[in-house]
Amino acid sequence: MEYRIIMIGCGTVGQGFLEILERKAEQLLDQYDFEPRIVAITDKLKGSVVAPEGLNISKILYRLKEGQRLNTYDGPKIKTEEFLDPLNLIEQVEAEILAELTYTNLKTGEPATSYIKKALRTGKHVVTSNKGPAALHYHELKELASVNHLQFRIEGTVMSGTPVFHLVENGLAGNDIREIKGILNGTTNFILTKMENDQMEYEEALKLAQELGYAEADPTADVEGFDAVAKAVILANVLMGGKIKPEEVKRQGISALKRKDILEAKEAGQRFKLIARIKKDGSRIEVSVSPEKIPISDPLAGVMGVQNALTFETDLMGEITIQGAGAGRIETGFSILSDILAISRTRSKTKN
Ligand SMILES: NC(=O)c1ccc[n+]([C@@H]2O[C@H](COP(=O)([O-])OP(=O)(O)OC[C@H]3O[C@@H](n4cnc5c(N)ncnc54)[C@H](OP(=O)(O)O)[C@@H]3O)[C@@H](O)[C@H]2O)c1
């Protein structure tokens, strides 16, 4: 079945998604009867291209790698001046799916939230890896999708393509989830790993994380726990029915930890991890992000480097732990594919 897809934002994740489509076209068609057609891409600096017949993905990737603007695409396309505004483009270009892949704004969720609303109001399913709209406006967007018989899917917002929401929606369906706890920020886990394994002080480990590209020049969002808070809020609201706002979460980062704290914990058979914890007690949901000393025997204690992990405490299956990438071009690109394939599965069911 053919799917027309609009992409807003074509940076790391957008290009990872395109690379997957290029590499897997035959397999997707053979195994899943899934034929994607990218009908438009718009990006802040790279410009826009609109091609109702579908873009040649190899040609687009070549142009992006060469640093050329999207409107230099030489395949069949239509004039894009009127589509430079993403809201116009979403409204006017016919498609089944919007892939929203712009930057994360954790203060307002904009402009991504407006793009998502426009898509849902004009009959398009939405998939996104953007934490802003999911952390701040999930219930409103889900409701808007639902009244329009559409889907709003967010697999990539937590642990990139590691299947968190798909696991709960499919494999764990029927369970009550009482608690979710985990490591949701790869940068801080890398720093803690280096402080223990290579006996570095916090500042030294942070500098290394910055040199390796794991931490931003301004590392506040990671090291002070804001990134993990956004993901914990998404888990609380999506998987436990919460209505939690990021500012309601108890938050402490790792910047005050010293090498000696880490080594003392190790001698006591424990390991410091920045733990996001979401606990449900009746209708009460408590969310926190803070460094915790956990026993070395806990599966989360074995998660080192930039990896992420989550443990679900369920009523029927006890504890289930899932570990995997928390970021990455292909990994997060995969989250977009996995959400689109999920939409295609429900769509083909309703067609049969
Ligand atoms: N990279 C990861 O591993 C990862 C993992 C999980 C989640 N995410 C999330 O996924 C989203 C995309 O991440 P990314 O790594 O691909 O970021 P990125 O490399 O910065 O790409 C974002 C792209 O969106 C464009 N953009 C920004 N605002 C726009 C707007 N208003 N209209 C059109 N285009 C706009 C940017 O253009 P300019 O460069 O021209 O400004 C850029 O090309 C983010 O929300 C991020 O938090 C990323």
Residues 24 and 82 grouped into a single domain: yes
Neighbours of 66 (CB within 10 A): 8
Give residues with Cβ within 8 angstroms of 227, minimum separation 6: 131, 184, 185, 187, 221
Catalytic amino acids? 231
Residues 141 and 194 grouped into a single domain: no
Task: Tell whether the model's pLDDT for residue 30 goes beyond 80.
Answer: yes
- As a whole number, mean pLDDT of residues 211-236 equals 97
Q: What is the pLDDT of residue 352?
A: 44
User: What does the DSSP 8-state code read for residue 166?
Assistant: H
Q: What is the pLDDT of residue 299?
A: 98
Q: What is the pLDDT of residue 349?
A: 66
State the virtual CA torsion across 274, 135, 313, 181 in degrees, nearest 10: 0
224-277: pLDDT as tens digits:
999 999 999 999 999 999 999 999 999 999 999 999 999 999 999 999 999 999
Nearest atom of ligand 1 to the alpha carbon of 45: 40
User: Cα 39–41–44 angle (5° rounding)?
Assistant: 165
86-142: pLDDT as tens digits:
999 999 999 999 999 999 999 999 999 999 999 999 999 999 999 999 999 999 999
Residues 144 and 224 grouped into a single domain: no
Q: Is the pTM of this model over 0.95?
A: yes
What is the identity of the amino acid at 58? S
Q: What is the pLDDT of residue 351?
A: 54
DSSP E strand boundaries for the chain: 2-8, 35-43, 47-50, 97-100, 125-128, 152-153, 177-183, 250-251, 270-281, 284-295, 308-314, 318-324
For residue 281, give the CATH number of its domain. Answer: 3.30.360.10
Q: Which of 15, 20, 43 to mutate to test the pocket of ligand 1 (most atoms within 8 A of CB)?
A: 43
Evaluate whether 287 touches 232 at the Cβ level (below 8 Å).
Answer: yes
Residues 18 and 146 grouped into a single domain: yes
Cα–Cα distance, 219 to 274 (Å, whole number):
15
Is the CB of 185 within 6 Å of ligand 1? no
Residues 139 and 182 grouped into a single domain: no
Nearest atom of ligand 1 to the alpha carbon of 160: 6
| Residue numbers of the domain that contains 238 | 168-324
Residues 217 and 277 grouped into a single domain: yes
Q: Which residue has the tokens 């991504």?
A: 112
Residues 37 and 140 grouped into a single domain: yes
Three-class SS of 322-344: EEECCCCHHHHHHHHHHHHHHHH
Is the CB of 15 within 6 Å of ligand 1? no
Is the CB of 9 within 6 Å of ligand 1? yes
Residue minimizing CA distance to atom 30 of ligand 1: 44
143-171: pLDDT as tens digits:
999 999 999 999 999 999 999 999 999 99
Residues 85 and 99 grouped into a single domain: yes
Residues 108 and 239 grouped into a single domain: no
Give residues with Cβ within 8 angstroms of 277, minimum separation 6: 179, 180, 181, 232, 286, 287, 288, 289, 292
Q: What is the pLDDT of residue 82?
A: 74
Pick from 165, 113, 110, 164: nearest CA to 138: 113
Nearest atom of ligand 1 to the alpha carbon of 46: 40
Q: What is the pLDDT of residue 265?
A: 97
Q: What is the pLDDT of residue 350?
A: 60
Is the CB of 333 within 6 Å of ligand 1? no
